[in-house]
């Protein structure tokens, strides 16, 4: 099997672990926006902002560090064991601190006590399974990885529908059920799914004799802490708007904004599937003679697929809004969707470019770039949301990811040159953006919008005709 076929196979399998759960999440977005008021949906969003932030803090980049050293080391069992012991120890310390100062910490983060306790449970369980999940990916077991991820999301979806739809509709007598606090049951469903995932991965905690190496831990931490800081900055880039808007414009507006933001989920699915398949692939093939050529090839087709998705989603935006957010109360923020889609595409390109600092062990640059982006996000939101409204947050997201993308490219070409086909990449980005703008102007004219989608696909076929023939003949 060729290198590219192996990459494609792994990406498709890992993609299932991303696409199917995200598709199920689309169902959940529809359920949540139908059953929750915009203020409750804002509370739901805040819960997961904290979950994302503390998840990065508690795993402190150990997953990526594990990939880096596991793929090239002969001491694989010792690396697995050391990384696992490290996370087990720090998670135990976190849990003890939270239990000791439970009420004070809940008040500090301004979360309801019940919400806070559920959040802690989810965080602890998800952190404990980080290394077993990373091991499945690094050791080439995408099917098992995907199966466990699917079980997790199936539990989440089933319990959400049971609590938010089945109980009220069929008037099921469920002890302690409170129909005025429906958002609580979303968090309970997440906790139950995390518990089952932990139990399924529990055997991997005992897959090898526990052995701890200070030398290996030092290597892992030196590599991982900049990844952690970069991850925290990424969480800020993705979520500061949804944290700041309720402070300035109110929870109701934030709920509508967060709901419409979910319409970018299709681009997010594509990016996540790529990352899951690409990260271990890039590390494992870094020593190949034609590695940089392969990376350039993958980048070009990543951009092509991302641009095609951009045009397609904008062309049929009115269809997607009914599928995902079929509640007019949320549609006041619908105009952010094109900007968020383009921003997510630029973020995906940044993730692709970011391989240079991971392969050269210059992860601090990733931290610097992410902090740079976070400062832009925070600054633009604080300065303009009060005056312009939520559109300022959408534009801040786009400006941030474009800036990070450009800085990463310039630094990458200095430290780890990759022969990206910049002319073609720019051609596709500009063409897709212009066609998307045309599709926005021809609102609900699906015949004309379909034509715009076909124009982009025709452009790709015309420009890449020779290469596409070679790929299809392999």
**What tens-digit pLDDT sequence spans the chain (474 residues)?**
455 566 666 666 666 666 677 677 778 888 998 888 889 889 889 999 999 999 999 999 898 888 778 877 778 888 989 999 999 999 999 999 999 999 999 998 888 899 999 999 999 999 999 999 988 877 778 788 888 988 998 999 999 999 999 999 898 989 888 888 899 999 999 999 999 999 999 998 887 778 888 989 998 898 888 888 888 988 998 899 999 999 999 999 999 999 989 888 778 878 877 776 666 677 777 777 788 888 898 899 899 999 999 999 999 988 888 888 878 888 888 899 999 999 999 999 998 898 888 888 787 888 899 899 999 999 999 999 999 999 999 999 999 999 999 999 999 999 999 999 999 999 999 999 999 999 888 877 889 999 999 999 999 999 988 887 776 666
**Phi, then psi, of 198 in degrees rounded to 5:** -60, -45
* The pLDDT value given to residue 138: 79
* The pLDDT value given to residue 1: 44
Rounded Cα–Cα distance for residues 262 and 268 (Å): 9
Closest among 350, 357, 352 to 405, alpha carbons compared: 350
Closest among 100, 130, 146 to 227, alpha carbons compared: 130
* The pLDDT value given to residue 280: 67
CB 419 within 8 A of CB 292: yes
Paired tokens of 385: 């949301």
* The pLDDT value given to residue 9: 64
Domain ranges of the chain: 3-473
Closest among 124, 122, 111, 114 to 42, alpha carbons compared: 111
Rounded Cα–Cα distance for residues 307 and 318 (Å): 19
Compute CA distances 62 → 55, 124, 191, 304, 383, whole Å. Answer: 11, 15, 23, 32, 35
* The pLDDT value given to residue 141: 80
């Amino acid at each position: 099997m060729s290198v590219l076929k192996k990459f494609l196979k792994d990406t498709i399998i890992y993609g299932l672990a991303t696409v199917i759960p995200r598709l199920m999440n689309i169902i959940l977005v529809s359920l949540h926006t139908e059953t929750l008021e915009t203020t409750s949906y804002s509370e739901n969003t805040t819960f997961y902002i904290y979950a994302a932030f503390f998840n990065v803090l508690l795993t402190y980049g150990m997953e990526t560090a594990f990939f880096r050293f596991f793929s090239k080391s002969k001491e694989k069992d010792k690396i697995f064991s050391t990384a696992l012991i490290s996370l087990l120890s720090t998670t135990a310390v976190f849990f003890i601190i939270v239990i000791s100062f439970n009420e004070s910490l809940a008040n500090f983060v301004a979360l309801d006590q019940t919400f806070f306790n559920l959040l802690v449970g989810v965080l602890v369980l998800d952190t404990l399974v980080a290394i077993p999940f990373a091991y499945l990916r690094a050791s080439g077991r995408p099917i098992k990885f995907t199966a466990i991820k699917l079980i997790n999301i199936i539990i989440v979806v089933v319990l959400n529908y049971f609590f938010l739809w089945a109980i009220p509709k069929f008037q099921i007598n469920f002890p302690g059920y409170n129909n005025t606090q429906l958002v609580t049951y979303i968090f309970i469903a997440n906790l139950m799914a995390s518990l089952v995932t932990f139990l399924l991965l529990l055997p991997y905690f005992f897959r090898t004799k526990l052995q701890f190496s200070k030398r290996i831990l030092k290597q892992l931490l030196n590599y991982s802490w900049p990844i952690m800081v970069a991850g925290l900055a990424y969480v800020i880039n993705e979520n500061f708007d949804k944290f700041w808007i309720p402070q300035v414009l109110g929870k109701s507006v934030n709920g509508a904004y967060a709901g419409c933001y979910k319409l970018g989920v299709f681009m997010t699915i594509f990016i996540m599937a790529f990352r899951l398949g690409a990260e271990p692939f890039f590390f494992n093939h870094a020593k190949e003679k034609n590695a940089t050529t392969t990376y350039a090839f993958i980048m070009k087709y990543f951009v092509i697929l991302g641009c095609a998705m951009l045009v397609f989603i904008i062309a049929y935006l009115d269809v997607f809004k009914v599928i995902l957010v079929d509640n007019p109360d949320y549609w006041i923020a619908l105009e952010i969707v094109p900007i968020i889609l383009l921003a997510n595409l630029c973020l995906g390109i940044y993730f692709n470019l970011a391989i240079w600092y991971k392969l050269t062990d210059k992860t601090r640059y990733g931290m610097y770039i992410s902090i740079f982006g976070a400062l832009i996000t925070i600054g633009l939101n604080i300065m303009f949301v009060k005056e312009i409204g939520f559109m300022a947050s959408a534009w801040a997201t786009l400006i941030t990811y474009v800036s990070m993308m450009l800085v990463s490219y310039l630094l990458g070409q200095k430290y780890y040159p990759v022969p990206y086909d910049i002319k073609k990449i720019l051609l596709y980005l500009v063409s897709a953006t212009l066609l998307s703008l045309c599709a926005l102007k021809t609102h609900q004219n699906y015949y004309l919008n379909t034509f715009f989608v076909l124009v982009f696909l025709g452009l790709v076929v015309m420009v890449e005709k020779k290469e596409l023939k070679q790929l299809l003949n392999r």
